Structure 1
Amino acid sequence: MAFWRSLVAFSAALLLLIHGAHCFYLPGVAPQDFLKGDQLQVKVNKLTSTKTQLPYSYYSLPYCAPSKIQDSAENLGEVLRGDRIENSLYVFKMREPQMCNILCNLKLDAKTAKEFKEKISDEYRVNMILDNLPLVFPLKRTDQDSTVYQLGFLVGLKGQYSGSKEEKYFIYNHLAFTVKYHKDMLTESARIVGFEVTPFSVKHEYEGKFDVRTTRLTTCDPHAKHTVVNSNSPQEVEEGKEIIFTYDVEFQESDVKWASRWDAYLLMNDDQIHWFSIVNSLMIVLFLSGMVAMIMLRTLYRDIAKYNELETQEEAQEETGWKLVHGDVFRPPNNSDLLCVYVGTGVQFFGMILVTMIFAVLGFLSPSNRGGLMTAMLLLWVFMGIFAGYSSTRLYKMFKGSEWKRVALRTATMFPAVVSAIFFVLNALIWGQKSSGAVPFGTMFALIFLWFGISVPLVFVGSYVGFKKPAIENPVKTNKIPRQIPEQAWYMNPVFSVLIGGILPFGAVFIELFFILTSIWLNQFYYIFGFLFLVFIILIVTCAEITVVLCYFQLCSEDYLWWWRSYLTSGSSALYLFLYATFYFFTKLEITKLVSAIFYFGYMLIASYAFFVVTGTIGFYACFWFTRLIYSSVKID
């Protein structure tokens, strides 16, 4: 049901955009006004760790739980991300400070003590949500006199205490919350614009028998206005120890308006680095553009003029260079069916990325709508199947193919099947770790329905339309007998040429790639889609230009086998992406568990495969346009 709600919400957003509404709020991001004394319900989210990359639900640890745990409505993206948003015992009253509120006490046995120790050792962080705003821990930076916000707070810490050489574990059991609000000048209502916490580890003390409602803590007494300000007497995690969970709430008025409350989360990165990335990429594009301009305006123009001039003369003159292979340049390649499938899949991916980025740049994919980005990408991938089928069969018909249904089926199933196989293995491993990141069977069926119920039929519809179109006519005729390719120079070797071609597209995006990997694997927000969109445009131009340049050199060497090489030239940038992901793993991440390492490399393999399909398709179409352009510009008998 949650999935269908997401689908309806996404469709509604599309309709609103089409009809040009003057002002509306996107699903899940409308402001909420609170009067003094209104109840504020804190929700708990997953436990996350950058060391294991395996999320767990909040109540996987024996934290204080309400009598009935209720899950918030989840969309498809939230489930795939491992988000589990549930209610909690943390209840505030708007603009009414509270001191030393007792949640519950917990007597540790061997099992619970071990669970807490494992999560503390793996540096798990607790995530909470208030008014759809994630909890952050403010960290002062003395060198720059600024504040850095970390999502959530650590379960606890480990170290030596009181001169003991033995390493001990301590839990953060007292939370000092700060709720920032922006007050309306005309009314008494206010909106929440910040949710911060300072955690403490305190060994609470009390007299008599413990009772949540009547017990007064000597270490934290609201009547004496004595609260926790340090962790001088931390609460140790050990079998037989009693832990009392407490919290404070402070309300602070803020000048930050509701519309700007996400700025602290989204503007943590230095914009100058992103501009450096753009400038770096633009330099590569300008260099390649100069080479393409030189080829197109000088070399090609001179060649075409020379050849056309020779056609008007009576004496025959031997042809050389790229014109010499005009009778073979459009000969269908080996495994042409597979090339058609990959091109169609690349078109599907390209359409999904382009539309997603446009929506993101326009602000339709708000970060407060958790899982919205992933849900939108999945739905767009499904609906772009019609373009995948159209593209693959149009190319297939140009190669004189007749069994379009077979190509359509392979286009609809090949890439998703490879990804699903990897995903299923990774999900089984995560399930074995009892992580909330494991996708439930119900969601699995929803994904299968999207694939076979919507995507596959759309691919066949697009394939049918594409195959009914007239075949693309080549500008020159193909000889019946293939021409022998002369021996090539070492630098025109296919493997060397392909590997060289992938360096520049990767070089255009690798700086921005660092921030994307950081946001995914180090639990940081990434929402600078304007920069990302510019980098994507630069990537398209770079892939197209490097492929055109190398394709021209190949044809001048009288090697007409350009079909697959044009795809692999820019597509090889995916190899460098995976190598960079490996470098990032060993230099930036602290993953030690085998399952977590398999999880990382499995998903980066999927990402690299998708990057190969997209960049390869861009290079292929650029080369396809280039060869048709130059061979249609000369007169050939």
Structure 2
Amino acid sequence: MTSDYELVMGNDTECQFLCGRNVDRYGLKRARELIDNGYVAEWIVDNLPGATSFVTIDKSRKYYAAGFKLGHKDYSRTTGNPRYFINNHVTIVIRWRSAPGRDGEKGGKVIVGFEVYPKSIGDEYWKYEGCPEDVRNVEYGMELYLPPSENTTAKAQPTSSSSYAPPRDEEDMDDGATLTIPYSYSVYYRAETDVEWANRWDLYFVGEEGSSKIHWLAIFNSVFIATLLTAVVGVIIARTIKGDMKTFSKDGGVEEGKLKLKLKRPRNGTKSPKTGEKESISLLDQNGDADNDADVSSDEELLEDLTGWKLLHGDVFRSPQYGGLLAPLVGSGMQLVFMASGLLLLSCLGVLNPSWRGGFVSVGFSLFIFAGIFSGYFSGRVYKTFGGEDWRKNTLMTAILFPGLLFTTIFILNLFVWAQASSTAIPFSTLIALNFLWLFIQLPLVYAGSWYGYARAGSWNHPTKTNQIARQVPQQSWYIKGMQSVLISGLIPFTVIFIELLFVFKSLWQDKSGYYYVFGFLAVVFLITIITVIEVTIVATYLQLCAENYHWWWQSFFIGSGSAIWIFAYCVWYYFTSLHIHGFISSILFFSYSFLACLVYGLLTGTVGFLAAYAFVRRIYGYVLAATSLGPQYMPISKDSLLTTVARGSSAIKAD
């Protein structure tokens, strides 16, 4: 809101009386609580925050911290009880310089600094509806204290006696007594030639300059980890997988136009009536005819070397359970990827900066709503790939699932903030407007994207067909099982971002300025994190396939989002070790918003991991086709499926 302070450019004001406010005992109690909890007042002039001025340790430079204290706390010399004083006079210093270009030639000025120096002045120094006699020479401050009395308007007791100490508890809170607090201000304009208008925010970040080395250390740490993972993925693709392809092409692949497998006869199999030897089984040739020249296998001959991930060709693309839930999550994740990428790009280009108040949140909401079309597209296409038929139901779930959870949680948290009468509460009209944007703009965009992805683009083609009978998954190693795999894999991306995460937390929760501004570093770390998530998911998916476990759809999503669990654990550790938050409501808000932030991050990285694993799986099974020079219908079937078909008495076996 606009204040009652009046500033006229270039006109100094020695002292100006503002007002006198009558405060009852409840108001005094609330003021003492705010001072005790370190609250500050925030003012804005020309989109520049009112700042408390500090100097560096070596006194070579000064820097700013947004806001100024409401008052200060002292202790009685005799009793040791706390005493609270309110800052009821402020000295405002506006620093200016000539405007650049023709405006400066015409006498135009721009503001490059806004400093506020608060002071507490006791009641005995004030004139009636006027300024103090001398604001510079003040010995006693304005204490927030009312003595027990009848229904009268009281003034603060003199504080000259060192033996005076107010009681710890208020008495007769409803006795109608009030304390009159006078307010005044001084204004001075000073020319500043060392600060350019374009760089006027630099003073708010001078105290963070020494942290640039740590930022570079974080970048080096991230690059080092990503490089190691890249080497691992390169070895897997360039040597292991291609080596498997070479072996398969040589031993179990195409020989004179025929795809042949050798199999030991099952225990209940039959012997050849002529030779008494166990019969061998060969697949159809490329023309679909039975191989009349089937090789005869002895008891010692084993099935050709088809092991590990190659055995899953008939099950690896089997639709997952609860695919109708995974598709909307992937769609919402792509929506968040677009929003995060857009915000980082605009911040790095300087379009979004602290001088644009509320710009980061406003642009973020706009990008999120616009990205609904991408959410619908990817959700519809993944849903079609899973074999879904009711695309309208999938569209509705995509548009409501994550945005609805986000809106509902914020609304419930906002009720707690309203109950505390906090100025950070979102107005009810804003919530209605957000609900309108959600239902009448984002929902149609999701519908359009989903229709195009499902009906026009269609499903992604798979290089192999799926068997009718699912394979039995063998016993898995402990590090491949669900939660263990997620936690181990999620720890690697967390090590990439945890240093930069410390700066983000410090800016949001501890810094007086409350601004995070090094978006260049954040963008680099974000990019490296995405690369790390992709590589970790590929490695984990490959190990899972080698263990003959084809349930990789959900697992790849959880592995990609695994670092969100570590980030939330880091939030809990940060709360107990670095923050001094008191009160149930404040703690609920911290953990709730931290959970929402981790949920957004996990959904984003989980989607990236899922799509990376999907592309990887399609690629490696495409390599199999390239090695065999056959179509999907001629892929060798698995041992279990082949034995099942033989047991049923089929005379000719065609790979499916």
For the pair 1:515 / 2:503, whether they are aligned, the reply is: yes
C-alpha displacement of 1:206? 5.0
Which residue is 1:137 aligned to? 52
C-alpha displacement of 1:386? 0.8
Contact 1:203/1:243 (CA < 8 Å) preserved in 2?
A: no
Query: Alignment partner of 2:406: what SS?
Result: helix
Write out aligned runs for 1:134-173 (5 A): 134-143=49-58, 145-161=60-76, 163=78, 165-173=80-88
Which residue is 1:399 aligned to? 386
Contact 2:56/2:207 (CA < 8 Å) preserved in 1?
A: no
Query: Alignment partner of 2:3: what SS?
Result: strand
Letter in 1 for 2:575: F
- Deviation track 1:107-144 (CA, whole Å, cap 9, x = no partner) reads 44323322321221222101111111100101223356
Which residue is 2:564 aligned to? 574
Contact 1:108/1:238 (CA < 8 Å) preserved in 2?
A: no
For the pair 1:263 / 2:250, whether they are aligned, the reply is: no
C-alpha displacement of 1:204? 4.9
C-alpha displacement of 1:428? 0.9
Write out aligned runs for 1:380-459 (5 A): 380-459=367-446
Distance between the aligned counterparts of 1:309 and 1:579, measured in 2?
A: 50
Which residue is 1:589 aligned to? 579
Which residue is 2:352 aligned to? 365
Contact 1:173/1:235 (CA < 8 Å) preserved in 2?
A: yes
Query: Alignment partner of 2:606: what SS?
Result: helix
C-alpha displacement of 1:433? 0.9
For the pair 1:297 / 2:223, whether they are aligned, the reply is: no
Letter in 1 for 2:460: I
For the pair 1:328 / 2:307, whether they are aligned, the reply is: no
Q: Give 1 or 2 for the bigger CA radius of gyration.
A: 2
Letter in 2 for 1:228: R
TM-score when normalising by structure 1: 0.82
Please point out which of 613, 616, 621 is paired with 2:603.
Answer: 613
- Deviation track 1:316-357 (CA, whole Å, cap 9, x = no partner) reads 413111111111101111111111111111011111111121
Q: Are residues 106 and 449 of structure 1, via their aligned partners in 2, closer, same or farther at CA, if it must alter by over 3 Å?
A: closer
Contact 1:476/1:631 (CA < 8 Å) preserved in 2?
A: yes
Letter in 2 for 1:232: E
Which residue is 2:460 aligned to? 472
Letter in 1 for 2:468: K
Contact 1:101/1:248 (CA < 8 Å) preserved in 2?
A: yes
Query: Alignment partner of 1:463: what SS?
Result: helix
C-alpha displacement of 1:289? 0.7
C-alpha displacement of 1:88? 1.9
Q: Are residues 333 and 136 of structure 1, via their aligned partners in 2, closer, same or farther at CA, if it must alter by over 3 Å?
A: same
Query: Alignment partner of 1:555: what SS?
Result: helix
Distance between the aligned counterparts of 2:42 and 2:261, measured in 1?
A: 82
Letter in 1 for 2:6: V
Query: Alignment partner of 1:89: what SS?
Result: coil
Distance between the aligned counterparts of 1:471 and 1:166, measured in 2?
A: 73
How many residues are aligned here?
540
Please point out which of 332, 338, 354 is paired with 1:351.
Answer: 338
- Deviation track 1:233-267 (CA, whole Å, cap 9, x = no partner) reads 22211123243322222222112111111112245
C-alpha displacement of 1:157? 1.1
Please point out which of 186, 193, 196 is paired with 2:105.
Answer: 186
Distance between the aligned counterparts of 2:230 and 2:254, measured in 1?
A: 33
Letter in 1 for 2:427: P
Which residue is 1:602 aligned to? 592
TM-score when normalising by structure 2: 0.79
For the pair 1:176 / 2:91, whether they are aligned, the reply is: yes
Contact 1:106/1:243 (CA < 8 Å) preserved in 2?
A: yes
- CA root-mean-square deviation: 1.9
Please point out which of 125, 129, 133 is paired with 1:211.
Answer: 129
Letter in 2 for 1:375: S
Which residue is 2:543 aligned to? 553
Contact 1:266/1:526 (CA < 8 Å) preserved in 2?
A: no
Contact 1:519/1:526 (CA < 8 Å) preserved in 2?
A: yes
Please point out which of 237, 248, 266 is paired with 2:144.
Answer: 237
Which residue is 1:502 aligned to? 490
- Deviation track 1:518-538 (CA, whole Å, cap 9, x = no partner) reads 222335111221111111111
Query: Alignment partner of 1:196: what SS?
Result: strand
Unpaired runs of 5+ in structure 1?
1-85, 221-226
For the pair 1:197 / 2:138, whether they are aligned, the reply is: no
Higher relative contact order (CA 8 A, sep 6+): 1
Please point out which of 278, 284, 287 is paired with 2:225.
Answer: 284
Letter in 2 for 1:203: G
Which residue is 1:90 aligned to? 5
Distance between the aligned counterparts of 1:372 and 1:315, measured in 2?
A: 65
Contact 1:328/1:478 (CA < 8 Å) preserved in 2?
A: yes
Which residue is 2:524 aligned to? 534
Letter in 2 for 1:198: Y
C-alpha displacement of 1:477? 1.1
Percent pairwise identity:
38
Write out aligned runs for 1:214-225 (5 A): 217-218=132-133, 220=134
Contact 1:95/1:251 (CA < 8 Å) preserved in 2?
A: yes
